[in-house]
Amino acid sequence: MEKVSIKNVTTQLLDIPIKRPHQFSAVKVSSKSFVLIKIELSNGVIGIGEGTTPGIFWNGESVETMKLVIDQYASPLLLDQDPVHTEALLQKLNRQIRGNYFAKATIEMALFDALGKMYNVPVHQLLGSLYTDKIPVRWALASGTPEGDIEEAKGHVASGNYENFKTKSGKEAPENDAIRSIKIAEGIKGHSKLGIDPNGSWDRLTTMKWMDTFFETGIDFLEQPLPPADVEGMARLAAMKKVPIMADESASTIEDAMRLAKENAADIFSLKIHKAGGMKNTIKVAGIAQASGISCFGGTSLESSIGTAACIHAYASIPNLDYGSELFGPDWLADDLVKEPLTSKGGYVHVPGKPGLGVELDEEKVSTYLRKEK
């Protein structure tokens, strides 16, 4: 086989509207931004990937910083290199570019898509094969009011779209947030299960105060209630043995996972391929969790079908994904970037079987949502 090299790397910024405003702890959004990357090989194969993040508040990266890092610093390190040596290329990026895990995950995604197309296999075969061919999906309630969230949850259950949910917290004071979350849980009790995600905005005392009530209400899990650096506080909450504690922002890197496991600071890891620096690192984090008796949850950065496909390939290879996923990004967006968007069916997403990521870019949609230069 003729030796293949990376011929070109390009990026574009895109903004896609969403179906309804989404309330995070720090910001409310009505559209979602992406950086689209294309890696062209010398044999004509083009791999695609996308970078996205809940916002710069989440970990310090944004689509604008990702584009800058890829264009000015990563691309020169990739050009003319052999894409087959993906691991060596990623280690090279790690040595010369500190942090910027979201940008690196975007690059890895496109490399694996290109390799899958080149070898005519889906990405999960490059990652070590499947554990399952479908993953349960949990919908995030973020309408902004308890009544709206309850109504939305019951509607999804009635239609058969989703069975279980989580709610975003952090906009209000921790005490009010806790009361609000309990109201939602009580409103859907008997219909479905609810997890709470404060995005690291609560404090130890308030969280500990409400743990008994969370347990009695049947809260499924408490995701990142404390600031990411407060690992000791997370360990104290986990030691209460009331509601399972899920680490998200605290569990980004492989090193984070090791620390949390050693300090018994989480019952569940929320996985995200962008925060870990890619699909391979995500699988490594899940391996640390499995060895430590920790369950996993397939988190989302609210990707389009491109990033969602990458998540599915990685998550479906993980045996301890006990809490399912929240891969509802394509259903949450008002439009998508591929010709056949991925959607959940009966509360599950299915693993794409076509080569690479298994999705085909729609260039007309890319043109429609391309960010206009100001």
Task: Supply the CATH number for residue 170's domain.
Answer: 3.20.20.120
Angle subtended at Cα 105 by Cα 82 and Cα 20, rounded to the nearest 5 degrees: 140
Q: Is residue 169 a contact partner of residue 201, using CB atoms and an 8 Å limit?
A: yes
Q: Residue 253 above 70 pLDDT?
A: yes
Residue 240 scores a pLDDT above 70: yes
Looking at the structure, tell me whether residues 234 and 158 fall in a common domain.
yes
Q: Are residues 78 and 147 in the same domain?
A: no
Q: Are residues 168 and 95 in the same domain?
A: no
The terminus-to-terminus CA distance of the chain in angstroms comes to 46
Q: Dump pLDDT digits (tens) for 331-354.
A: 999 999 999 999 888 889 999 999
Overall pTM > 0.75: yes
Residues 212 and 275 in one domain: yes
In a domain, 1, yes or no: no
Catalytic annotation, residues: 168, 326
Question: Do 143 and 266 share a domain, yes or no?
Answer: yes
50: which residues sit within 8 A by CB, 6+ positions away? 34, 35, 36, 37, 106, 109, 303, 304, 306, 307, 337
Domain annotation covers residue 257: yes
Tell me the sheet residues that pair with 50. Answer: 36
What total of structural domains would you count in the chain?
2
Place of tokens 């389009």: 304
Q: What per-residue confidence (pLDDT) applies to 22?
A: 61
355 in a domain, yes or no?
no
Asked, for residue 295, whether it belongs to a domain, the answer is: yes
C-alpha–C-alpha distance, residues 349 and 2, integer Å: 37
Question: For the chain, what is the largest distance between any 2 Cα atoms, rounded to a whole number of angstroms?
Answer: 65
Let me know if residue 203 belongs to a domain: yes
Is the residue at 192 inside a domain? yes
The predicted structure's pLDDT at residue 365: 97
Least confident of 54-58, 115-119, 268-272, 350-354: 54-58
Q: What is the pLDDT of residue 1?
A: 59
- 113: pLDDT strictly greater than 60: yes
On whether both 165 and 311 belong to a single domain, the answer is: yes
Beta strands at 348-350 and 134-136: parallel, antiparallel or unpaired = antiparallel
Note whether 84 and 145 are same-domain residues.
no
- Residue 290 CB: number of other CB atoms within 10 A? 16
E strand or H helix that includes residue 12 = strand 6-23
- Answer for the pair 203, 230: CB distance below 8 angstroms, yes or no: no
Range name among 35-49, 182-196, 228-242, 283-297 with the lowest pLDDT average: 182-196
The residue range of the domain holding 235 is 126-350
Does residue 305 contact residue 338 with C-beta atoms inside 8 Å?
yes
Q: Report the CATH number at residue 19.
A: 3.30.390.10
Average pLDDT value over all residues in the chain: 94
Tell me if 40 is assigned to some domain: yes
Residues 152, 77, single domain; the answer is: no
Indicate if the pLDDT at residue 135 is higher than 60: yes
Same domain, 75 and 15: yes
Higher per-residue confidence, 201 vs 144? 201
Same domain, 18 and 46: yes
Retrieve residue 234's tokens: 């997370």
Q: What tokens does 276 get?
A: 């870990």
111 lies in the same domain as 158: no
- Residue 222 is inside which H or E element, if any? strand 221-223
Percentage of the chain beyond pLDDT 70 is 97
In a domain, 356, yes or no: no
* pLDDT for res 373: 73
Judgement on whether residues 210 and 226 belong to the same structural domain of the protein: yes
